[in-house]
Chains A and B, each alone.
Chain A
Amino acid sequence: MAKSKAVPYLRVYVWEFPVRLYHWVNAACIVLLIITGYIIGSPTTIRYADEAYQQYWFGTVRFIHFVTAFIFFFNFLVRIYWGFAGNRYARWKNFIPLSRKQWREILEVLRVDILQIRSGEHISLGHNALAGFIYFLTFLVFLFQAATGFALYSSMSSSWLPGLFTWVIPLMGGDFAVRQWHHLAMWFFVVFSIIHVYLVFYHDYVEGRGTTSSMVGGWKFEKEDILKKK
C-alpha cells in the first residue's frame, strides 16, 4: 500500500448559476433537436388513423424541433453574454488559445487523453485549454446550425428572426443544399455528445477534482498549495 501523502484541497466555485443553467438547457435542447431532426429527415411509419385530419404527429415533431430551436438559440446568446460578464472560468479568453501557456496545456491534455501519461504540467481548474478550444469550435457549429436552421425556417415563417438568415440560401445554392448541410451537421452533435460526456467522466477520474458534479453544483476542488501559488 502506498503511503498517504494527504494534501488539503479547497472548494472553488467554478461554474456560476448562469453557466450551469445554460449547460443543461443546451444539452436538453441538443438531445431533443437531434431526435426530432432525425425523425424529420427519416420519419418512421406511425399510423393510428387512415385519414389526414385524424392525426398530426409529424407536424408535432416539427413543431417541437422549431420551439426547441428558438430556446437553443436564445440560450446560446445568453452564454455569449456571460462570456463577457461571468467569472474568470466563464470568460471568452478560455475558449481561444492565444497564450503559450494555453498551448502547453493543450499538449498536456493530449498526452493525458491519448497516451494516458502525465508530465506534471498543471491542467486548469475551469475548462482545460483543449476543452475550451473544442467548445469554441462547437460554438461555431452552433452558429452554423442556427443559420442553416433559421434559413430553412424562413420559408415557413414571417417573423423577423428567421428573416435575418435568408441570405444563407443563395449562398449555399438553394434550400436543398441548406437542408443537406443542416442534416450533416446533426452528426457532429451526435459525435460531440458521445465524446464530450465520456471525456467529462474520464477527466473526473484522472484529475479527481469533481468534474462531473461541477456542472450540477458549480464546485470543483483544487490543491491548496496550487491555489496559493497563483
Chain B
Amino acid sequence: MAADNPTIYASMLAKGYTRRDFLRFCSYAATLAGVEASGLATVVKAFETKPRPPVIWLHFQECTCCSESFIRSSHPIVADILFDYLSLDYTETLQAAAGHQAEKCRLDTMKNYSGKYILLVEGSVPMKDDGVYCMIGGESAESILRESAEGAAAVIAWGSCASNGCVQSAKPNPTNATPIHKIIHKPVINVPGCPPIGDVMTAVVTHILVYGNMPELDSQGRPREFYGRRVHDTCYRRPYYDAGLFVESWDDENARKGYCLYKMGCRGPVTYNACSVTRWNEATSYPIQSGHGCIGCSENGFWDNGPFYQHLANFPGFGIETTADTIGTVVGIGAAAGVAAHAIATNIRKKKLIEEHKEESVTEKGGES
C-alpha cells in the first residue's frame, strides 16, 4: 500500500499558503459543517493531523450542473482548497489526464487507498440493455460504479440524478436510469437538487473531512442538516401563505406585492431543501425570492409531478389538464345524478317495493288502512 497522503495543512503550506490562510479556511469549513465556535479547535486539529483523503468523482448520465454548482460555493476558498488539496484523483470534467491514463488514475487510487477514498457520484446509471446508454472507456456505468464503490470510505450521490434519477428517470424512463443507492449495497449520502446548493455540497464534504463519519441522515438518506425542513418552512413569503394572500396570475398586483406563490403551483410545501435558508449564488437569492415558485427540484420524481404551475399534478392516463379534482367532480356529480335517478325509479316502483308495509299498516283506531 502506498504511503498516506500528507495532511491538508501540510499541503497548504507546501503550496505557499500561510497559517493565517489555513485558519481562515478552517473557520469557513467549521461554519459550513455547522460546528459551533468552541469546536473550531477540532476542525483545526483534524486538518492538521488527518491525511487528506483522495477523491474519485464519477460522472454518469448527468448535465454537470452539480459540478458547476460546487465550484460556485460562496466561500471560494473552501471549494478551491477542496479541489486543490483534496486530491481529486479522478473527475472527467476537470482532470488533466485523458484516455487510458485517466482510467489508470482511478484504478490506482482504488488500489492504493482502498477503504480510504471518498467516492462522489454525479448522474444516474442506466440499467437497461446492459447499460449501453452510458459507457466510459468501454465499461458500463454500472460496473464502474460497483467497482469504485467497493473500497470507498464514503459514497456521496450528488444531485437529483444520482439520488433519485431526475429527468432521465422521468416517465417513460427509456434507459431505466437508476439512482445509485438502488445499485450499491453501502450507505449513500444523498444530496439531491437540480443542482444541489454549492454550499450544501461543500458542507457535506467538509463534514466528512472533519469528523471522518457520515452526517446524520433522514429516511431518504439526505443530511438532516440541510434537508430536514421544507423550503416552505423558512420561506420569507410564508406569512402571506398563512394570511391566504396569494398570487393569482403571474402579472397581477399580488405578484408585484410579493404574495405567496402557492396557487401558482409552488412546491415549497412538499420540498425538502435549504434554499430559503442558504439561498443561491453567494446567498443572493433563490427562486421564490426572484418571483418564481419552487419546482421541487430536490424531490423524488419531480419531473413527473407536473405541470409545475399547477397545485395538483395531472391525473395519469386522462390527458392534459385533468387533475384529481376534475375526476372527483365528475364522479361526484355522477354519484349525485345516480342517486337522483335511483330515487325516481324507487318512486315509480314504490307500489311493489313497499306493498308489504301498506298491508301491515293499521290506522290509529286499529281498523283497516
Contact = CB atoms under 8 A, between A and B. Distances in A.
Contact of A173 (B244, B301, B349): B301
Contact of B301 (A4, A177, A179): A177
Given A7-B360, A45-B248, A175-B299, A206 B355 contact: no
A221 to B, nearest CB: 11
A4 B302 contact: no
Contact of A42 (B219, B296, B325, B356): B325
Interface string A45-76: 11101111111111101000000000000000
A47 B128 CA distance: 53
B241 interface: yes
B interface majority secondary structure: helix
B359 A43 contact: no
A45 B219 contact: no
A184 B318 CA distance: 14
B245 A47 contact: yes
Interface string A4-24: 111100000000000000000
A177 B353 contact: no
Interface in B164-189: none
Interface string B285-303: 0000000000010011110
Q: A interface, how many residues as a size bin?
A: 35 or more
Contacts of B257: 50
Contacts of A194: 332, 335-336, 339
B243 A52 contact: yes
Contacts of A184: 324, 327-328
Identify the interface centre among A43, A167, A202: most chain B CB within 10 Å of its CB. Answer: A43
B346 A5 contact: no
Interface string B301-341: 11001000001110000000000110110011001101100
Interface stretch (A99-107, A128-136, A185-193): A185-193
Given A4-B368, A46-B244, A176 B359 contact: no
A141 B233 CA distance: 29
A173 B311 contact: no
Contacts of A61: 244
Interface in A125-166: 155-156, 166
B219 A166 contact: yes
A208 interface: yes
A53 B358 CA distance: 65
Interface of B: 219-220, 229-230, 233, 239-246, 248, 257, 262-263, 267, 269-272, 296, 299-302, 305, 311-313, 324-325, 327-328, 331-332, 335-336, 338-339, 342-343, 345-346, 349, 352-362, 368-369
Given A59-B243, A202-B342, 6 more contacts: A3-B359, A6-B360, A174-B302, A175-B299, A176-B313, A198-B343
